[in-house]
Structure 1
Amino acid sequence: MMTLNVAAAGAGNAVLLVSNLDEQKVTPDALFTLFGVYGDVHRVKILFNKKDNALVQMAEPHQAQLAIAHLDKVKVWGKNIRVTQSKHTLVQMPKEGQPQDAGLTKDFTNSPLHRFKRPGSKNCQNIFPPSAVLHLSNIPPNIEEDFLSDAFAQHGQVKAFKFFPKDRKMALIQMASVDEAVTALIAMHNYPLSDTNHLRVSFSKSTI
């Protein structure tokens, strides 16, 4: 009987173990942004003694499964990360006054940056595996292609760029590789383009 219960617990678990991270670059915010493509991230904990490992708590178990399906073995900062179900069922916040956490655990439950907080949000239909082409939205009218291309070029080589003909608030940008697109998405999602507009970045299934 034990095995059945363990399997059932695993299936309903929204916490992921992410390993083989670049411990020089990983932050709770970076993982919030990357995993946020596949669901709403509630908490992130980078392990104090093994900083190339982190726990990511999603809002719902099916979002955790989506993240495993799309992010396991994807290259992030040059390393193939592993994404598996964690045996933890929630990420504990450090107790008040625990000095050793040093910002490694972060609660994003009430973040305004969740992509899926409305049930049936159209974002749910736009979930794609990591790709070299990124979909950009929420672009103010005064922002030109050169500005966006230059900003993304800080994170890799930009191969192509195209505004949507019917809606200039959206664009596609193609990076040289999926790896560079992953890095660019982490860096550029929520990038401030004006006081009120923050860029939204997701993976696209389109080509330019």
Structure 2
Amino acid sequence: PYPGGGGAVAAPGAGAPADQHHQQAQAARAYDEMCVAVASYGGGAGDTFGGGGGGGGGKPAAAATVPPELRLTNFQQPGAVLMVYGLDPLRTNADKLFNLMCLYGNVARIKFLKSKEGTAMVQMGDSVAVERCVQNLNNVSVGLTGAIPATYKPSGDAAAEQFRQQAEMTEHKLQLAFSKQPYLSEVTNPYPLPDKSPSYKLYVTNKNNRFLNPAMASKNRIQPPSKILHFFNTPPHVTEAELIQVFKDYDVIAPKAVKLFPMKSERSSSGLLEFENTMEAVAAVMACNHAAIESPGTKFPFIMKLCFSSSRSMTIRNGDNSIDSSVASGGTLTSGLATAPDAKHDD
């Protein structure tokens, strides 16, 4: 059992009223569909989901095929839960963790543990996603993912001293491990995190999951964290200054260079962002992935999507933020070699 975080695994719906049974059944069906869509969705080649890695350096992500005997309807995908240690307890919340984990697989549930600060449990869509997360995120350092919530006030001298020490930390190293729990049980009354957001959230039906079917999954490029980010699904005429302002608005370090790719259509824009180091880039993904960007003449904002790029440099000349000519043509630099834009990243 994990005090305050939901703990012992209980049979879903045990002793619940009829309406709760109905809600659980609906959620179970949604999760089941998310996990087994790969076995039934044909997926057209024309799907324009763009979850790439900024260049052709990674392998296409395969959507895991789930056999009929594993199509469980009560959130029990074997081996799909992982532990995440070393999170910033003052600034991290469920959405920020989702923004990072969703690059490696579907996210179903996230639960922070009250008994162990800076620790969360994440239920992914399948064991393959868990393996991707552990392989790519274990021992990764994260910078500051925002400002300390102004409303958070520690109680007691010991808590105040701990708060002071945590507030001075500018780097946190993530530690990921497989969990023994088969799934995360529902938490009906989650405790509030420092920013007042709930310590438990369900992401089964979240449209920002990027592996919902084979067509979507195949357009992702699995990349380890790097200082270069690929961005897409931004307004068609967004400027470098507007992109930089997004990160400032979220109180994270802004990129030192921005490269907008030539537009292939008037629907949206994409490009590359370079940060000083990987630590800052990871923090930017956690804080600003899925940030809403308003655009004149549109009813709804664009939801900016970020992922790590296979590019390893964007050469800056004379400090004027001009991008090396090999990238300016719309290509990216992969291990020092210029490559053409990856068609997988069309939006």
TM-score under structure 1 length normalisation: 0.87
Query: Which residue, 131, 148, 157 being the options, matches 1:65?
Result: 131
Please give the per-residue CA displacement for 1:47-73, whole angstroms capped at 9, x wherever unaligned: 011121110010010000000000000
| 2:111–2:201 CA contact under 8 A, matched in 1 | yes
Residue equivalent to 1:4: none
| 2:94–2:199 CA contact under 8 A, matched in 1 | yes
Separation in 2, partners of 1:182, 1:160: 16
Query: Which residue, 191, 213, 222 being the options, matches 1:101?
Result: 191
- Once the two structures are TM-superposed, the CA of residue 157 in structure 1 deviates from its matched residue by 4.7
Residue equivalent to 1:186: 286
Residue equivalent to 2:87: 21
Residue equivalent to 1:145: 240
| 1:93–1:106 CA contact under 8 A, matched in 2 | no
- Once the two structures are TM-superposed, the CA of residue 123 in structure 1 deviates from its matched residue by 5.5
- Once the two structures are TM-superposed, the CA of residue 74 in structure 1 deviates from its matched residue by 0.4
SS at 1:101 equivalent: coil
Give the letter for the 1:162 counterpart: K
Residue equivalent to 2:306: 201
Residue equivalent to 1:161: 258
SS at 1:131 equivalent: coil
Task: Report which structure shows greater RCO (CA 8 Å, sep ≥6).
Answer: 2
Asked if residue 47 in structure 1 is aligned to residue 108 in structure 2, the reply is: no
Please give the per-residue CA displacement for 1:175-207, whole angstroms capped at 9, x wherever unaligned: 111010011111111111122411011110123
Give the letter for the 1:164 counterpart: F
TM-score under structure 2 length normalisation: 0.53
Q: Percent identity?
A: 29
| 1:41–1:57 CA contact under 8 A, matched in 2 | yes
Aligned length, in residue pairs: 195
Structure with higher strand content: 1
Separation in 1, partners of 2:220, 2:89: 33
Name stretches of at least 5 consecutive residues in structure 2 with no aligned partner.
Answer: 1-77, 144-170, 193-197, 295-299, 315-347
- Once the two structures are TM-superposed, the CA of residue 124 in structure 1 deviates from its matched residue by 4.9
Residue equivalent to 1:119: 214
Separation in 2, partners of 1:20, 1:143: 35
- Once the two structures are TM-superposed, the CA of residue 40 in structure 1 deviates from its matched residue by 0.9
- Once the two structures are TM-superposed, the CA of residue 35 in structure 1 deviates from its matched residue by 0.6
- Once the two structures are TM-superposed, the CA of residue 111 in structure 1 deviates from its matched residue by 0.8
Separation in 2, partners of 1:164, 1:149: 16
Separation in 1, partners of 2:86, 2:285: 19
Query: Which residue, 150, 160, 173 being the options, matches 1:80?
Result: 173
The CA RMSD measured in Å over matched residues stands at 1.9
- Once the two structures are TM-superposed, the CA of residue 166 in structure 1 deviates from its matched residue by 4.7
Give the letter for the 1:58 counterpart: M
SS at 1:186 equivalent: helix
| 2:84–2:177 CA contact under 8 A, matched in 1 | yes
Separation in 1, partners of 2:257, 2:211: 28
Moved over 4 A (4+): none
Separation in 2, partners of 1:51, 1:123: 36
Separation in 2, partners of 1:125, 1:140: 21
